[in-house]
């Protein structure tokens, strides 16, 4: 399979999510291009990168398309035991909201642990998974084979928490703070700060 460029991968993930709400059994590249706001030729090129069989005159079979995209993007592994493990670092208002398991249903990811620097906060919070003091990141993450982290801590804590996550061996960090992370090239970062997103969207 061809190496999938990052912009293509992002569009394929969007298409996968879009198909989850598609009620018909088939869909055309024109339907998808209207959703993405791009030419249908770009959709067909993206699908060729993913190894999708060319569509016929009445479009693509939705279930087959979803299966291919799930496999390529790692969005929702068919084997439930293959769910990718992640953790939440920082359990203030934003981090606490992510304790709701419904965010991760059918996503291919499972939250295995939560971390916070405030022991008092941990004592009053309830979750379906274990919550730990942030000082235990370097121990718990490798023990639980956690690969990804959602970083929601206060900005003053970002350097220390990032350092701990890198030492613990995570492969990727979703950064909900406005801070710029300093990580090795082997660790991928996705910046999702609402303020930064608003600044980007206004332009």
Q: Where do we find the tokens 């088939």?
A: 26
Nearest Cα to Cα of residue 131 among 100, 90, 73: 90
94 in a labelled binding site: yes
Burial (0-12, 13-18, 19+ Cβ within 10 Å), 175:
buried
Mean pLDDT score, 3-26: 85
Q: Report how far residue 6's alpha carbon sits from residue 9's, in angstroms, rounded to the nearest whole number.
A: 5
114 in a labelled binding site: no
The three-state secondary structure class of 172 is strand
pLDDT at 23 over 90: no
Percent pLDDT > 70 in the chain is: 91
pLDDT at 151 over 50: yes
Question: When comparing pLDDT for 35 and 196, which is higher?
Answer: 35
136 in a labelled binding site: no
Tokens at 141, concatenated: 């993450």
Distance of CA 98 to the CA centre of its chain: 13
121 in a labelled binding site: no
Q: Report how far residue 83's alpha carbon sits from residue 85's, in angstroms, rounded to the nearest whole number.
A: 6
Q: What single string gives the DSSP state of each residue in 103-149?
A: GGTTSSEEEEEEEES-HHHHHH---SSEEEEGGGHHHHHHHTT--EE
Q: Which phi and psi (to 5°) does residue 169 adopt?
A: 95, 20
10 in a labelled binding site: no
Tokens at 179, concatenated: 């801070």
Mean pLDDT score, 174-193: 92
pLDDT at 94 over 70: yes
| Domains located in the chain, CATH noted | 6-73 (1.10.10.10), 84-197 (3.40.50.720)
Q: What is the band of 78 on the pLDDT scale with cuts at 50, 70, 90? A: very low
Q: What is the pTM of this model?
A: 0.74
pLDDT at 159 over 90: yes
Q: Report how far residue 197's alpha carbon sits from residue 177's, in angstroms, rounded to the nearest whole number.
A: 11
Q: Report how far residue 30's alpha carbon sits from residue 54's, in angstroms, rounded to the nearest whole number.
A: 14
Distance of CA 97 to the CA centre of its chain: 16
User: Could you say which DSSP state residue 81 is in?
Assistant: G
Q: What is the band of 2 on the pLDDT scale with cuts at 50, 70, 90? A: low
Mean pLDDT score, 101-108: 73
90 in a labelled binding site: yes
Strand partners, 174: 150, 190
């Amino acid at each position: 399979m061809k190496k999938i460029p990052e912009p293509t991968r992002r569009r394929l993930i969007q298409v996968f999510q879009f198909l989850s709400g598609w009620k018909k059994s088939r869909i055309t590249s024109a339907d998808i291009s209207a959703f993405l706001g791009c030419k249908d030729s770009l959709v067909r090129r993206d699908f060729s990168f993913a190894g999708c069989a060319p569509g016929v005159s009445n479009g693509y079979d939705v279930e087959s398309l979803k299966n291919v995209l799930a496999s390529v993007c790692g969005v929702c592994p068919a084997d439930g035991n293959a769910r990718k493990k992640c953790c939440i670092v920082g359990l203030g208002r934003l981090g606490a909201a992510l304790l709701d398991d419904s965010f991760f249903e059918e996503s291919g990811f499972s939250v295995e642990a939560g971390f916070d620097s405030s022991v008092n906060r941990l004592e009053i919070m309830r979750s379906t998974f274990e919550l730990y003091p942030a000082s235990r990141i370097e121990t718990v993450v490798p023990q639980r084979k956690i690969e990804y982290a959602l970083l929601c801590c206060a900005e003053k804590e970002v350097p220390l928490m990032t350092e701990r996550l890198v030492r613990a061996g995570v492969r990727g960090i979703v950064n909900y703070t406005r801070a710029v992370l300093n990580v090795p090239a082997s660790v991928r970062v996705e910046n999702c700060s609402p303020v930064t997103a608003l600044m980007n969207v206004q332009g």
